[in-house]
C-alpha cells in the first residue's frame, strides 16, 4: 500500500503558445459538447514542449509524452486554455519505467501553475484526487493513494475521466467511478496532463485522445 502522497513539485512558469479560450457562449452548448479536443498530431496545438536534463514533455508520433529521468519529481503541461466546469477525458499508457508512478489530468490551473486540482492513477493500481495550492500539495479523497481493481496495471492502457463541476471532483477509470470529493476553492482555469516519479526514475507516460467536454 502506498504510504506517501506525491513528491517534490517542479513549478513550471511557462508562457503558452496557445490562445486563451474564454467561457463566452459556452452556456448555450449542450452537455457532452466538445470544448477542446487534441489527438496530438499537430505539434503546434499549444502544449508545452520542454527538454531538460531531468524531464521531457513533448509531442511524439501522434502522442504526448512525459519522461522523468529523476526520482521524486512531478511535472505537468497545459495547452493554455481557460474553463470553469468541465469533464476531461484521456487515454494514458506507461511506455517505460517503474509501475510505482503517477499520471493523470489537472483542471482549474492558475496561470503560473502553482494552484490546481489533479486526478491521478499509478501503474501499480492506485488512484487519488488532490489539489496543489500555492505549490503545496494535498490529497482530498484520503491521506494516501488508494488501491483500485479498476486501474489496469503495468503497461496497459487506461481511460481516465475527471469531472470538475462546481465543487464536485470525480475520477472515473475505465468507465467506472473510483472517487468523488467536494472542494470549491478553485473556480476556473487551465486543464492539463501530469506525471510523477517516486523512488525510481525513468517514468515514461504516453497520452492520447485528450478531450474537454461540457458537463
CATH number at residue 165: 2.60.120.560
pLDDT value of residue 27: 63
- 10: in domain: no
- Residues in the chain with pLDDT < 70? 1-27
pLDDT value of residue 72: 96
pLDDT value of residue 2: 55
pLDDT value of residue 125: 98
How many domains, the chain? 1
- 193: in domain: yes
Q: What count of Cα atoms within 13 Å lies in the side-chain half-sphere of residue 68?
A: 28
pLDDT value of residue 29: 80
pTM: 0.89
For 88, the domain range is 36-213
- 30: in domain: no
What is the CA angle 57-58-60, rounded to 5?
A: 130
CB within 8 Å of 153: residues ≥ 6 apart: 99, 123, 124, 125
C-alpha cell at 32: 457532452
- 199: in domain: yes
pLDDT value of residue 32: 87
Q: What is the distance between the alpha carbons of residues 99 and 102, in angstroms, rounded to a whole number? A: 9
- List, as own/partner pairs, every contact residues 54-61 make where C-beta atoms lie below 8 angstroms and the sequence separation is at least 24, other chains included: 54/10, 55/10, 60/206
- 26: in domain: no
Amino acid at each position: 500500500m502506498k504510504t506517501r502522497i506525491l513528491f517534490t513539485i517542479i513549478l513550471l512558469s511557462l508562457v503558452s503558445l496557445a490562445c486563451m479560450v474564454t467561457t463566452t457562449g459556452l452556456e448555450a452548448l449542450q452537455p457532452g459538447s466538445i470544448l477542446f479536443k487534441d489527438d496530438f498530431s499537430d505539434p503546434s496545438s499549444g502544449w508545452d514542449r520542454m527538454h531538460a536534463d531531468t524531464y521531457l514533455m513533448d509531442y511524439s508520433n501522434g502522442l504526448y509524452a512525459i519522461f522523468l529521468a529523476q526520482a521524486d519529481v512531478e511535472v505537468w503541461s497545459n495547452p493554455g486554455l481557460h474553463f470553469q466546469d468541465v469533464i476531461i477525458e484521456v487515454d494514458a499508457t506507461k511506455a517505460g519505467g517503474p509501475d510505482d508512478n503517477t499520471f493523470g489530468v489537472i483542471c482549474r490551473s492558475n496561470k503560473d501553475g502553482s494552484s490546481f486540482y489533479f486526478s491521478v492513477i499509478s501503474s501499480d493500481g492506485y488512484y487519488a484526487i488532490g489539489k496543489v495550492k500555492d505549490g503545496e500539495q494535498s490529497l482530498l479523497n484520503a491521506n494516501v493513494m488508494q488501491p483500485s481493481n479498476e486501474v489496469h496495471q503495468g503497461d496497459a492502457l487506461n481511460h481516465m475521466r475527471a469531472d470538475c463541476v462546481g465543487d464536485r471532483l470525480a475520477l472515473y477509470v475505465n468507465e467506472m467511478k473510483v472517487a468523488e470529493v467536494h472542494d470549491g476553492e478553485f473556480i476556473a482555469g487551465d486543464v492539463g496532463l501530469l506525471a510523477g516519479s517516486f523512488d525510481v526514475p525513468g517514468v515514461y507516460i504516453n497520452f492520447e485522445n485528450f478531450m474537454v467536454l461540457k458537463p
